[in-house]
C-alpha cells in the first residue's frame, strides 16, 4: 500500500531532524526515515556544542547564529537541556595571546560577542582553569551546550507528539525514484525529499559522492566523571583549538603557534588533536578530540591518542582525578574547500551533507534556509 506526505526526510541525525522541524513549522506533513532503531551516528557522538565562534564571519556565522536562535526555541518548547554557557579560549603562550588579540582586532565589528580577559579575571571567575602561566583568554557569549544523546532521542518524539511527524525508525530507505521513497516495508509518495544520510555515501545517490571532494573524518572521544561535580562554567579550550577552526585562519600570528606545536609536539598535527572540554547536564565531562581522514577508516581506537588528549587537557584544566568512564569514536563526512554539500540529484530532491565538525552548530540555520527555498 502507498502512503503519502508532503515531505520525506531520510536520516534521523541532527541534519534530518532540523529539516523535518523546519518543514513541520511550515505546516507540511512530514515522514522521517531512520535506518537504525534510534540514531547512532555523529549526532549522538559529539560534544553537543553550538559553536558560532568557530565559524568565519559571513554566511556561515549568520547560519550558526540563526541555528542557535532555533535551538533556543526548540529547547524551550521541548524541555531539552540547553546551557548558554559561552566559551573560553585560554592562552598559555605569548604567541597564543597574540592570536587572540589579533582575532579581536580583525573582528571587532563582527557579530561575535567576545571579550579579551586577563589572567586575573579568569582566575577569579573560573576556578577550574589552571592558573599557572595563563596569559589571557577569549571569552565568547554565543556558545551553548546541549546533551546530544538526549537531544537526538527527544527531538523526534517531541516532533511526533507536537507536530504529528510520522516517524519510521528501523527503516532504511533503499530507493528513491521521485516522487516515491521506498523502504523495505513501505512506499511513500511525496512532494519533496530531503536526504541527510551522514557518512553513508553508498546507499542513496552514490554517484554524487564518487568523485566529490569529500572524505570521512574519525574522531576519538571520552567521557569522564569527577568525584565532586563542579558547576558548569564556559566550555574550555586552549591554544590547539586556534589551529582548528576556520575563524582563526585569517590571523597572521597563527603561523608562530603552528610552528611551535609542530616542532615541540608533532603528535598533535599527526593525529589532528585539539582539546575541548564540555560539561553536560549530569556533570559529566565530554573530552576530545582527534581527526583522522580517509574514505575507509581504521575501526580501532588508539589509547595513545587518548593519552595525548588527556595530557594536553591537564595543561589548562586544574581538576584532578577525572575517571574516564567511556571511550568512543565518531565519523563525519568532511568536504574539502566548503562547509556543506547541497545537491539536487533530481527535481524536488535535495541532498544535504558534509557539515563536518559543525553539524550541531549549523543544521537548524541551514535547514531554515533550505526549507524556506523549497516549500
Ligand atoms: C566526535 C564528534 C564530535 C563533534 N562535535 C561537534 C560539536 O560539538 N558541535 C558541532 O556543531 N558539531 C560537532 N560534530 C559534528 C556533528 O556531529 C555532525 O556534523 C552532525 O552530527 C552530522 O549530522 P548528520 O545528520 O549529517 O549525520 P548523522 O548524525 O550521522 O545522521 C545520519 C543518519 O542517517 C541515517 N541514514 C543513513 N542512510 C540512511 C538510509 N538510507 N535510510 C535511513 N536512514 C539512513 C543514519 O543511520 C544516521 O542516523 C562532531 C562530530 C563528531 C563525530
Beta-strand relationship, 114-118 and 136-140: antiparallel
Report which protein residue has its CA nearest ligand 1's atom 2. Answer: 46
* Other Cβ atoms closer than 10 A to 215: 17
Q: Could you tell me which of 271, 232, 239 has the C-alpha nearest to residue 257?
A: 239
β strands within 123-274, DSSP E: 136-140, 144-146, 166-169, 173-177, 180-183, 187-189, 192-195, 214-225, 235-237
Residue 133 region, left (φ>0) first, then alpha (ψ -120 to 50), else beta? left
Q: What residues does ligand 1 touch, defined as CB less than 6 Å away?
A: 10-16, 33-36, 39, 41-43, 45-49, 51, 172-173, 196-200, 203-204, 219, 221, 288-289, 330, 332, 355-361
pTM of the complete model beyond 0.95: yes
Per-residue pLDDT of the chain (375 residues; tens, 9 = 90+): 689 999 999 999 999 999 999 999 999 999 999 999 999 999 999 999 999 999 999 999 999 999 999 999 999 999 999 999 999 999 999 999 999 999 999 999 999 999 999 999 999 889 899 999 999 999 999 999 999 999 999 999 999 999 999 999 999 999 999 999 999 899 999 999 999 999 999 999 999 999 899 999 999 999 999 987 777 799 999 999 999 998 999 999 999 999 999 999 999 999 999 999 999 999 999 999 999 999 999 999 999 999 999 999 999 998 888 999 999 999 999 999 888 999 999 999 999 999 999 999 999 999 999 999 999
User: Which ligand 1 atom sits nearest the alpha carbon of residue 361?
Assistant: 11
Half-sphere exposure (CA, 13 Å, Cβ side) for 336?
Answer: 10
CA pair distance 220, 299, nearest whole angstrom: 11
Q: Could you tell me which of 254, 227, 229 has the C-alpha nearest to residue 91?
A: 254
CA pair distance 150, 156, nearest whole angstrom: 11
Amino acid at each position: 500500500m502507498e502512503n503519502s506526505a508532503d515531505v520525506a526526510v531520510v536520516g534521523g541525525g541532527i541534519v534530518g531532524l532540523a529539516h523535518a522541524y523546519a518543514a513541520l513549522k511550515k505546516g507540511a506533513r512530514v515522514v522521517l526515515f531512520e535506518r537504525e532503531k534510534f540514531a547512532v551516528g555523529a549526532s549522538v557522538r559529539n560534544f553537543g556544542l553550538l559553536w558560532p565562534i568557530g565559524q568565519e564571519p559571513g554566511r556561515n556565522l549568520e547560519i550558526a547564529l540563526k541555528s542557535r536562535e532555533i535551538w533556543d526555541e526548540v529547547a524551550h518548547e521541548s524541555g531539552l537541556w540547553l546551557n548558554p554557557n559561552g566559551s573560553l579560549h585560554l592562552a598559555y603562550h605569548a604567541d597564543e595571546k597574540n592570536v587572540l588579540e589579533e582575532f579581536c582586532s580583525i573582528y571587532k565589528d563582527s557579530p561575535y560577542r567576545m571579550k579579551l580577559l586577563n589572567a586575573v579575571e579568569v582566575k577569579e571567575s573560573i576556578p577550574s582553569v589552571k592558573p599557572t602561566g595563563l596569559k589571557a583568554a577569549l571569552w565568547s557569549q554565543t556558545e551553548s551546550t546541549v546533551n546530544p544523546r538526549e537531544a537526538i532521542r527527544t527531538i523526534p518524539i517531541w516532533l511526533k507528539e507536537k507536530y504529528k511527524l510520522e516517524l519510521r525508525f528501523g527503516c532504511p530507505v533503499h530507493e528513491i525514484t521521485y516522487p516515491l521513497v521506498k523502504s523495505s516495508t513501505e512506499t511513500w509518495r511525496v512532494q519533496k525529499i530531503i536526504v541527510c544520510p551522514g557518512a553513508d555515501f553508498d546507499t542513496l545517490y552514490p554517484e554524487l559522492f564518487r568523485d566529490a571532494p569529500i572524505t570521512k573524518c574519525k574522531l576519538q572521544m571520552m567521557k569522564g566523571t569527577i568525584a565532586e561535580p563542579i558547576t558548569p562554567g564556559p566550555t574550555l579550550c586552549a591554544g590547539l583549538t586556534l589551529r582548528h577552526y576556520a575563524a582563526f585562519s585569517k590571523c597572521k600570528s597563527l603561523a608562530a603557534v603552528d610552528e611551535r606545536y609542530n616542532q615541540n609536539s608533532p603528535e598533535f598535527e599527526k593525529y589532528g588533536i585539539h582539546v575541548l572540554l564540555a560539561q553536560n547536564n549530569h556533570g559529566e565531562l565530554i573530552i576530545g578530540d582527534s581527526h583522522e581522514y580517509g574514505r575507509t577508516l581504521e575501526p580501532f581506537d588508539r589509547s595513545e591518542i587518548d593519552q595525548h588528549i588527556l595530557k594536553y587537557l591537564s595543561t589548562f584544566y586544574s581538576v584532578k582525578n577525572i575517571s574516564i568512564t567511556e571511550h568512543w569514536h565518531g565519523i563525519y563526512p568532511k568536504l574539502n574547500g566548503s562547509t556543506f554539500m547541497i545537491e539536487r540529484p533530481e527535481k524536488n530532491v535535495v541532498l544535504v551533507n558534509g557539515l563536518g565538525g559543525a553539524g550541531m552548530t549549523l543544521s537548524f540555520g541551514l535547514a531554515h534556509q533550505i526549507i524556506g527555498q523549497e516549500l
